[in-house]
Amino acid sequence: MIAQRMSHMDSSGIRKIFDLAKNMKNPVNLSIGQPDFDVPSQIKNEAIHWIQKGFNQYTVTQGIPELREKLLEKLKRERGIEAEDILITSGVSGGIFLAFMALLNPGDEVIVPDPYFAMYKHLSHLMGASPVYIDTYPEFILTAEKISEKISKKTKLILINSPSNPTGVVTPQRELKKIVELAKKHHLVILSDEIYSEFSYDEPFQSIGRDYPLTLVLDGFSKTFAMTGWRLGFTAGPKEIIQAMTRLQQFSFVCAPSFAQKAALKALDCDMKGPIQEYRRKRDLIYEGLKEKFKLTRPGGAFYLFPQAPDPDGDVFVQKALEKNLLIIPGSVFSERKTHFRISFAAPNETLAKGIEILNQMV
Ligand SMILES: Cc1ncc(COP(=O)(O)O)c(C=O)c1O
């Protein structure tokens, strides 16, 4: 009954973990990919205000003009991006989905740095396209040289996710510049998933979109403002692609949530430096706590760590951690390898401390 295209979408790995987790009482949970702080109250009040006021209908497909303008202006001011057009999407996930639908033909190849955000793999398959993985182990640094070895006549799109989920690694500026040269030479589109841009701890965030007009810049409100359930993101880039995505949104998502778009205007005036500094301290806490006993790269951003498992099989190690009441995600969910595991440090410090203790005992 189910369509053929669904056959590639195997979520059994992560489902198994969450099935096991259901039976755990008060697990030390380092698996969650969303902030542990709540949406700031001024943003919540703004959303409530607009709901009460009756701003509950569909909005225009491309998103309310005042939010689109404000985001374009912010992208220019903060990241030096001069995007031709912008679409407000239902989360960055919605943007990725529409971008893939608008750009990929069956048989096209997509350059996917491995480890990757799992959606990239599954959606590539859904489009009938092939993910071509760039193995970035053990430092997780994406280089132009590694990409160039994998470019073929079928390559259409390069995915960049910096800071990265699941490694937290930031692609160095020198490599971004070389990747731009490569993309120019082969006339490739770059999709830059910048959802963790605000979570850059050691240096100001740099977008590849500044130097290459054929970049789709995707970002949103889920992580920075903890608005994961409000489903709000945006995609900025070349007019032709944004318009194709907008046509598709008209016949799929229709629009992003109305009240969330209004509240997002307020969010953009909200200073999140405090919570982000707090996350920087969490990064230091967990990295310092694990670096003696684990092989791991210090993350420059996001809120993840991707250590090598002491067992040769990361899935087995995660199972053992579950038995000790610690919930982490096997690396196989994010990679063609199964040697590592993902820790999210978006958790209270006492949970981090317990997690560090359990992990160190397991080595
Ligand atoms: C790299 C990356 N891109 C996109 C998303 C999706 O975010 P959104 O809630 O905006 O759909 C996530 C969420 O975990 C992510 O880690």
pLDDT of residue 13 exceeding 80: no
pLDDT band at 113 (very low <50, low <70, confident <90, very high): very high
What would the mean pLDDT of 286-294 be, rounded to a whole number? 98
Instruction: Over range 315-343, report the average pLDDT.
Output: 95
Rounded CA separation 189/215 (Å) = 6
Task: Give the pLDDT score at 205.
Answer: 97
pLDDT in tens, 51-80: 999 999 999 999 999 999 999 999 999 999
Residues β-bridged to residue 192: 160, 217
Nearest to 179 by CA among 155, 203, 153, 154: 155
Output the residue whose Cα is nearest ligand 1's atom 7. 92
- Least confident range from 19-33, 36-50, 118-132, 171-185: namely 19-33
Residue 15 has pLDDT above 80, yes or no: no
Using a 6 Å cutoff on CB, does residue 193 contact ligand 1? yes
Mean pLDDT of 302-317: 96
User: What dotted CATH number matches 4-39+272-362?
Assistant: 3.90.1150.10
Give the CA angle between residues 24, 348, 339 to the nearest 5°: 60
Ligand 1 atom showing the smallest separation from residue 96 Cα: 4
- Give 197 Cα–ligand 1 centroid separation in angstroms: 12
pLDDT value for 363: 93
For residue 222, report the distance from its CA to the centre of ligand 1, in Å.
Answer: 7
165 lines ligand 1 (CB under 6 A): yes
CB 253 less than 6 A from any atom of ligand 1: no
- 222 ligand 1 Cβ < 6 A: yes
Of 153, 204, 154, 214, which Cα lies nearest the Cα of 179? Answer: 214
Specify the residue with its C-alpha closest to ligand 1, atom 13. 33
Percent of the chain's residues with pLDDT above 90: 93
Q: Is 310 a pocket residue for ligand 1 (Cβ < 6 Å)? A: no
Where does the chain hold its CATH 3.40.640.10 domain(s)? 41-267
Cα–Cα distance for residue pair 74/222, rounded to 1 Å: 17
Q: Is the pLDDT of residue 347 over 90?
A: yes
What separation in Å is there between the alpha carbon of 195 and the centre of ligand 1? 6
Q: Is the CB of 279 under 6 A from ligand 1?
A: no
pLDDT per position as a tens digit, 3-12:
988 888 877 6
Ligand 1 center to 292 CA (angstroms): 31
Sequential DSSP letters for 237-271: E-HHHHHHHHHHHHTTT-SS-HHHHHHHHHHTT--
Nearest CA to ligand 1 atom 16: 165
Rounded to an integer, the average pLDDT of 113-123 is 97
Backbone phi, psi, residue 169, to 5°:
-80, 140
Residue 14's pLDDT band (boundaries 50, 70, 90)?
confident
Cβ 90 under 6 angstroms from ligand 1: no
302: left (phi over 0), alpha (psi -120 to 50) or beta: left
CA 362 to chain centre: 29
Task: Report which ligand 1 atom has the smallest distance to the Cα of 302.
Answer: 16
- Any atom of ligand 1 within 6 Å of the Cβ of 161: yes
Quick: pLDDT tens for 199-254: 999 999 999 999 999 999 999 999 999 999 999 999 999 999 999 999 999 999 99
Structure tokens at 311: 């067992």
Cis peptide before 163 (omega within 30 of 0): yes
Atom of ligand 1 nearest to the CA of 228: 9
Q: Does 91 contact ligand 1 (Cβ within 6 A)? A: yes
Domain with CATH 3.90.1150.10 in the chain: 4-39+272-362
What's 41-267's CATH class?
A: alpha beta
pLDDT per residue as tens digits for the range 168-210: 999 999 999 999 999 999 999 999 999 999 999 999 999 999 9
For the CA of 233, the nearest atom of ligand 1: 10
The rounded mean pLDDT for the chain is 96
Confidence class for position 328, pLDDT limits 50, 70, 90: very high
